């Protein structure tokens, strides 16, 4: 075939629009491949914070909304979680619960006809302006996205307009639709996983999950020589407290104490409800001195808790016992818990509202060597 004929055929294809259609198909295929790649990575996460980190990194490749928030209601709770971002940077800010309720009522009206996303003007027109105050409207909400799973809508995402680039393009809206439909499933899976490892009353980790983390810390200490600590604590005279003020007041104490413990330690530390009024905490990267300082900081923070039963101010104190997690041969979760409990018992027998760290001596080392080597 001559070059002239080839050129003529190319011009014919160009005039007919076939080449433009081919380029459009190539672009569509490229976009689909990118979305499939993003989805395949997203579904690997079980931690909700990491899901959001991943989504933020992907948005940076496409667009930057001025404001983005996720309002999520975990199963079997009355609490509402809020994750807010300004120009895709996390900010410590929460929208009032009433806005979630207002938007949720809109989706209840929609029922089985819920769409992947809505423009805010459409939502406002159906449920009225009075549902939204200036603190909400100042965020310039533009897209309202229901997070739907088993049982219906359990969360809502709100996107403002982009800071550059005008309105969302058709391709950007398609990306939002596809990614958020998968994100809704992964978040719900993450919430159910959290539920399986969290105590329903306090929101702290469960005993079983704590034991898993304790085993990991023992192995980590043995392999990398990075030591951590175990703190066991319980509420002083808690039975008397329950008998005097009732179990509902006792539940408030447990919940408030749990919040204080989480606020007092680092995010990398693990706080668990060990059972009843007893709690356990894994303290990362510490030595005996810093472990004691941490236990005392926790104890003093609990002393400052203010609770009221009617007009009566209630005071709470705790006793703490701790031990180090080192590379000592034969160390086991059972042995560590036993030694931390001994330190806790010493604190309670010697006046309560104090902390003590158990120091493992030669006899402990011999006992663990026997266990490790199965000596007679």
Question: Where in the chain are the domains?
Answer: 43-197, 207-373
Catalytic site residue 216?
no
Q: So what's the pLDDT on residue 149?
A: 87
- Beta bridge partners, 67, equal 86
**DSSP secondary structure of 257-314:** HHHHHHHHS-TTSEEEEEETTEEEEEE-S--HHHHHHHHHHHHHHHHT--EEETTEEE
- CA nearest neighbour of 353 among 313, 295, 277: 295
- Write down the catalytic residue from 125, 277, 296, 312: 277
Helix (H), strand (E) at residue 230: strand 228-235
Are the folds of 43-197 and 207-373 the same? Answer: no
User: In this structure, what token pair is assigned to residue 307?
Assistant: 């609770």
Q: How far apart are CA 353 and CA 350, in angstroms?
A: 9
Q: How far apart are CA 236 and CA 97, in angstroms?
A: 35
- CA nearest neighbour of 48 among 187, 176, 184: 187
Strand 318-325 to 228-235 pairing? antiparallel
- What is the biggest distance separating any 2 CA atoms in the chain, rounded to whole angstroms? 102
| 43-197 CATH | 3.30.450.40
Q: What are the average pLDDT values for consecutive 10-residue runs of the chain, which has 376 residues?
A: 58 60 65 86 90 92 93 81 92 89 89 89 88 92 93 93 90 92 94 89 93 95 94 94 88 94 93 95 96 97 91 91 91 93 95 91 51 48
User: In this structure, what token pair is assigned to residue 325?
Assistant: 């997690």
Q: So what's the pLDDT on residue 343?
A: 95
Query: What phi and psi values does residue 233 have, to the nearest 5 degrees?
Result: -145, 155
Residue for token digits 């900081």?
Answer: 297
- Beta bridge partners, 275, equal 278
Q: So what's the pLDDT on residue 375?
A: 40
Q: So what's the pLDDT on residue 11?
A: 60
Q: So what's the pLDDT on residue 234?
A: 95
- The half-sphere exposure of 59 on its side-chain side, counting CA atoms within 13 A, is 25
Q: So what's the pLDDT on residue 362?
A: 46
User: In this structure, what token pair is assigned to residue 194?
Assistant: 């959290």
Q: How far apart are CA 162 and CA 166, in angstroms?
A: 7
User: In this structure, what token pair is assigned to residue 185?
Assistant: 């499933």
- What value, to the nearest 5°, has the Cα angle with vertex 61 and ends 153 and 49? 45
Q: How many CB atoms lie under 10 A from the CB of residue 38? A: 20
Q: What is the SS3 assignment for 164?
A: coil
Q: How far apart are CA 329 and CA 208, in angstroms?
A: 23
Q: Does the 207-373 domain belong in CATH 3.90.1150.10?
A: no
- Beta bridge partners, 72, equal 81, 155
Q: So what's the pLDDT on residue 264?
A: 95
């Amino acid at each position: 075939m001559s070059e002239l004929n080839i050129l003529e055929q190319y011009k014919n294809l160009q005039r007919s629009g076939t080449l433009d259609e081919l380029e459009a198909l190539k672009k569509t295929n490229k976009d689909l491949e990118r979305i499939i790649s993003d989805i395949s990575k997203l579904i690997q996460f079980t931690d909700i914070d990491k899901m959001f980190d991943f989504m933020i990194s992907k948005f940076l490749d496409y667009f930057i909304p001025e404001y983005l928030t996720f309002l999520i209601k975990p199963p079997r709770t009355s609490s509402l979680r809020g994750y807010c971002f300004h120009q895709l940077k996390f900010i410590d800010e929460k929208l009032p619960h009433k806005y979630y309720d207002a938007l949720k009522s809109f989706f209840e009206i929609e029922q089985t006809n819920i769409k992947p996303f809505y423009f805010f003007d459409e939502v406002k027109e159906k449920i009225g302006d009075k549902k939204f105050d200036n603190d909400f409207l100042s965020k310039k909400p533009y897209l309202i996205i229901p997070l739907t799973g088993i049982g219906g809508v359990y969360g809502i995402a709100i996107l403002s307009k982009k800071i550059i680039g005008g309105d969302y393009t058709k391709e950007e809206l398609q990306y939002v639709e596809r990614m958020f439909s998968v994100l809704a499933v992964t978040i719900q899976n993450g919430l159910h996983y959290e539920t399986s490892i969290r105590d329903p009353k306090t929101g702290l980790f469960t005993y079983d999950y704590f034991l898993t983390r304790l085993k990991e810390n023992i192995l980590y200490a043995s392999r990398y020589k990075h030591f951590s600590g175990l703190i066991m604590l319980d509420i002083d005279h808690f039975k008397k407290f329950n008998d005097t003020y009732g179990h509902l007041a006792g539940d408030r104490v447990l919940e408030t104490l749990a919040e204080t413990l989480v606020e007092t330690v680092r995010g990398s530390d693990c706080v668990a409800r060990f059972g009843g009024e007893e709690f356990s905490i894994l303290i990362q990267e510490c030595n005996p001195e810093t472990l004691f300082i941490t236990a005392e900081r926790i104890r003093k923070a609990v002393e400052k808790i203010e609770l009221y039963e009617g007009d009566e101010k209630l005071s709470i104190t705790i006793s703490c016992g701790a031990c180090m997690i080192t590379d000592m041969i034969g160390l086991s979760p059972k042995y560590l818990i036993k030694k931390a409990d001994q330190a806790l018992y010493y604190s309670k027998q010697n006046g309560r509202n104090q902390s003590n760290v158990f120091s493992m001596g030669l006899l402990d080392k011999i006992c663990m060597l026997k266990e490790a080597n199965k000596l007679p």
